[in-house]
Amino acid sequence: MAGGRKKQKVKWSKLYTFSCLHPQTNEGDPTSFAVTAPSAQSFIGQPGYSRVVFCNEPHIHKLKPYKYPNNYVSTTKYNIVTFFPIALFEQFRRVANLYFLLAAILSVAALAPFTPVTVISPLVFVVGISMLKEAMEDWNRFLQDLKVNARKIKVHIGNGEFVERSWKEIYVGDVIKVNKNDYFPSDLLLLSSSYEDGLCYVETMNLDGETNLKVKRSLEATLSLDGDEQFSKFLATVRCEDPNPNLYTFVGNLELENEYHPLSPSQILLRDSKLRNTDYIYGVVVFSGPDTKAVRNSTRSPSKRSRVERKMDHVIYVLFAMLILISMVSSIGSTIFTKTEAVKWYYLELERSADSSFDPSKLIVSCLLQFIRALVLYGYLIPISLYVSIEVVKVIQAMLINKDQNMYDEVTDKSVVARTSNLNEELGQVEMILTDKTGTLTCNQMEFRKCSIEGISYGGEITEIDLAASRRMNIEVERYRFSLGGYDPTGRSLEMFEFSMAEPATEKMVLGLEQGVETPNATTPRNSITRRDSSVIKGFNFRDDRLMDKMWINRSNVSDMMMFFRVMALCHTGIPIEDGKNDKLKYEAESPEEVSFLLAAQEFGFKFCHRTQSMMVVEELDPSSGMDIKREYKLLNLLEFNSTRKRMSVIVRNENGDLFLLCKGADNVILDRLADNGRTYQQATTAHLSNYAEDGLRTMLFAYKKIKTDEYEKWNSQFTKAKATIGPEREDLLENASEMIEKDLLLLGAVAIEDKLQGGVPECIDKLAQAGFKIWLLTGDKKETAVNIGYSCSLLRHDMKQVHLTLSKEAESKNLMKVMREDILGQIERYYQMVIQEDAKNRPFALIVDGRALEIALSNDIKDQLLRLAVRCDSVICCRVSPKQKALITRLVKQHTGKTTLAIGDGANDVGMIQEADIGVGISGMEGMQAVMASDFSMPQFRFLERLLIVHGHWCYKRISKLILYFVYKNAAFGLTLFFYDILTTSSGQVLFDDWYIVIFNVLLTSLPVISLGVLEQDVSSAVCLKFPTLYQQGPKNICFSWKRIIGWILNASFTSLAIFAINISALSPAAFTQGGEVADIGHIGAITYTCIIWTVNCQIALIINHFTWISHLLIWGSIICWYIFLFLCGVIPPDHSKTGFHLLTEAIGPTAMFWIVTLLAVVTSLVPYFIHIAIQRSFFPMDDHLIQEMEHFRMDIVDGPMWLKEQQKSKEKIKIGFSARVDAKIRQLKEQLHRKKKTNL
């Protein structure tokens, strides 16, 4: 065999009892296929089932009629051919750009008041910048595609030789070799593996979110292909279904040596899943690139626009309506003046004029031409540079987000990445967060945390919730909690806690005078029975001196403890692996729980060393001698775990010939199977299970029984007969046989496993809850697991009323859609009424929806009722959710609530949800790139969502809102000045300003300060944002971009333009302008009025800005200086080019006092309304950020600590989920217990 690799001898298929390795039959469903379903065979060759794959002959699939795409996958929006037409279409969907395109066309006509270059050049600049930004973002997507497509894999090139090729060079029919922990590059037909019977383990978490490994097995006909050289003459043909997005079905057959072999999903390895616990596999490519099921499940990234940007379009419509209105006023005024007055002025000779704009005989034509001229003249009322300025600002904002060191993860060497900058401000308006569980909240690691043996709980480390409550109540919570329940967690006689009223601090706490709020991870002494070790074992986070370091041998009833550890060491499907670093072993198994059990057993002195087909070897600690002794156990039967059985059992024979059934499983399943004499520890164990579950830990019970030889032989004969049965009744026979032996068990105890959360998840969710977010958990895991995680991350708390929406057994047994629909609808209505009635009591509710119930609710007309109930609950958890259901739920939440939604996930199964949400966030963890490539933002850890939303989202929303409002203000002030001058000049179409003044207004003199506002503005610092998360609510409430504010800024602009125009005309027109008695002409008035506008709009932005930097000062005051420099440079250009600007500053207006006086007077007058408004608002109607700014400015966080804390407490008053809410609930519980205890004692 190539490479000298030795085949692994364990034939795993011989260990399995139930149907995990057998083809499934789904009668009546053409998409299922099995040996016993010949009906599926008939679909081959029909439409939808016409694909033919020639194995080991990829050259055939490069030519018609069997030409299939290669393995290249693209997520880009454009290519070289489509970029310009699509990008231009996207740009001119914007109403402002469309208007300026029309204005540019009209500027070529003779009636235009401006030269064509002054209108066309800004449009080209704006559209060009926007298209360049689109090209850069799509280029980044292209680079990510290159990275994925350049991954290497070994491909057979003939004569048994395998060479490395990139993924994109793989074709249908290629035979490839995938090594352990590598991803499958395409959809493969499994031919053989490193195991002798062709079995392999596959991790599909990146596809369906499930952490348990899936077992795949090749056909027996291809088992002989066990080495590189075996493929030199291998030829076969696969006929199967056409490409489709169904992840769990496959129909096809394999023609090998003139024999047909049916194929099922058990032989198919999907792209983006990973090979685990198997050294290598050989497979042939069936679907490649865009034909693979994973890619078929993903869609092109939709074009998303933020709510602010969509509202901005409506603002443009308002400005456009103003433009039409004032254009109509000008055109009608011009027509009336032409008809009544201008015809009397004989020297104009209007009857002989070639200009139809003032033809008294054609008034309608004259009115229309004047209207068109006015549209172009007042066009600067529409801010053409608004879009490009926003584009530039958003790109820089995205760069700052990418460079934020507080969102960098050193472990993965990754940081938050804004993959698109279109949605920066949308981050500040999110109200609903829909999150995946596995890989998003959790880090795909299981840790052994606690156990209960013989009714005694071990691993007494208390939770952060208990610690925080303990600090605030000055009591030892762990000791007190167990003593109240009557169970001693330490197994020793602990002194009962007595409440002492002599302690003032404690008295205050009980009376409800709490001080401050604790946060997770604060330094606190641990329970005395625990200790921290410097050496941390991955998967084993258990500390208890009573069990560690062989101390358990001193306990009473050691035999039951040994049996407990034997269940842990023997009841599994794990494989031991040499570590190489020390004498301890590592393990691989189907589920991470089994790995944690094996690690725990090893630490307790029961090391699982070796297994063969029928033998298991455990190195056990002998209590009598204290020595490690190797013992062999003969494995007779393995009844594996599945979602229906919810338990696993093994039957073993020890060296003395004794037979034991060792069983582990869910508490309700095991408790129902206990013998009457096996319930000794049931009451204590059940209490411990409740506490473990409240702490968010997964729990499982251990039990055993001794079997008599004759009983076993009788049962085994029936079991063997059932196992050999072929047909649909096989499963029932096996289940009945299992029920016969898995009864009359003796309870040993329980274990508690932590599905380890990513660092900072509880704290992040706590802050998000304080900021007003509603968080829904959508997971493919079972309900029990999802609820445990809900407790771990504080989405659930012990006093929360849990509403479980699940299909009743009666309705499920009838299997009629009408009955099931009525059952679900009845539950929804009943729960909704309950929530309404309890709402007045402010009681928290959590809705937990099972996958089957969710499927029925979403597929019928009751989805609106479901959403109505869900949005009234404080927490929502949906279990067993498929990828399509995640996307559908996201869409329904958007439509039903109208709120901005954010979806976050890490796998390909989350792509639909991510793309459907207003904002999609992908976790760039260790599991593939599908979610990241489909996302708008990517981050290495969930905890960074806190800073991304509460800090950057808040800042970006306020920045963009201020930027748009300021743009409306400055352009309206500028455009209305032209309108007032046109009215003064009898609507003649005369332009007050030079053409180049108009060009540089938006491009040079007012553009850079706006960018500084959009990039650097901060109402409060990032630290204050995180201390006062309620500030975030300004975004969802849209306080900063409401129509009230928009109209207010338009009115402010109207006053500014009128004040500037009136002051300039009244000051400059009636009197001499210079000492020589010269009056001001249009060049003088235009330049002075323009100067007043430049000063006013730049001073206005200085008043808007809260956070000044040297860059802000440079750009604001530098823009004003640039105007004077421009005016000076115009003055030195010959008059043929500078026209009225020749020596205008140095000789005409600069030396006159009137120029400077008018400028000062106009600026001060224009800014008075804003001064009055802000003074009244801050004095009598202050917003939250105003109060915090003043408190921070006057150092009240130091001078007046209680007031600072009081303001912080406001964000925690109404929250019902999160760490703080759980601590408050725990304190209320402890107070009630204390008062009850005091009353009992009295």
Residues with a known catalytic role? 436
Q: What is the 3-state secondary structure (H, E, C) of 80-120?
A: CCCHHHHHHHHHCCCHHHHHHHHHHHHHCCCCCCCCHHHHH
> Which residue is listed with tokens 């352990």?
180
| Cα within 13 Å of Cα(338), Cβ side | 27
Residue in 300, 391, 419, 301 with CA at minimum distance from that of residue 94: 391
| Contact yes or no for 977/1057 (Cβ under 8 A) | yes
- Measure the CA–CA gap between 316 and 416, rounded to whole angstroms: 33
Cβ-based burial of 90 (10 A; exposed 0-12, middle 13-18, buried ≥19)? middle
Amino acid at 1199: V
Close Cβ partners of 31 (under 8 Å, ≥ 6 residues apart): 241, 246, 249, 251
Neighbours of 81 (CB within 10 A): 8
Angle ∠(67,71,72) on CA atoms, nearest 5? 115
Find the radius of gyration of the CA atoms of the chain. Answer: 38
Structure tokens at 813: 């047994």
Length of the chain: 1242
DSSP structural state of residue 677: G
Percentage helix, strand, coil, to 5, in the chain? Answer: 50, 15, 35
- Measure the CA–CA gap between 215 and 226, rounded to whole angstroms: 19
Indicate the pairing of strand 900-905 with strand 430-435.
parallel
Q: Could you write out the DSSP letters of every residue in 146-215? A: HHHHT-EEEEEEETTEEEEEEGGG--TT-EEEEETTPBPSSEEEEEEESBTT-EEEEE-HHHH---SPEE
Residue in 570, 720, 727 with CA at minimum distance from that of residue 634: 570
Amino acid at 52: V
Residue in 512, 541, 517, 545 with CA at minimum distance from that of residue 531: 545
| Cα within 13 Å of Cα(1230), Cβ side | 32
Measured between alpha carbons, how far apart are the two ends of the chain, in Å?
A: 82
Task: List residues bridging with 639 in a β-sheet.
Answer: 649
- Measure the CA–CA gap between 223 and 196, rounded to whole angstroms: 8
Structure tokens at 198: 């062709």
Task: List residues bridging with 650 in a β-sheet.
Answer: 638, 662
| Contact yes or no for 544/529 (Cβ under 8 A) | yes
Angle ∠(581,586,590) on CA atoms, nearest 5? 160
The continuous run of DSSP H or E covering 849 comes out as strand 845-849
- Measure the CA–CA gap between 947 and 764, rounded to whole angstroms: 9
Cβ-based burial of 28 (10 A; exposed 0-12, middle 13-18, buried ≥19)? exposed
Whole-Å CA distances, 1151 to 1127, 1154, 1156: 14, 9, 9
| Contact yes or no for 395/421 (Cβ under 8 A) | yes
Neighbours of 268 (CB within 10 A): 25
- Measure the CA–CA gap between 1133 and 1128, rounded to whole angstroms: 9
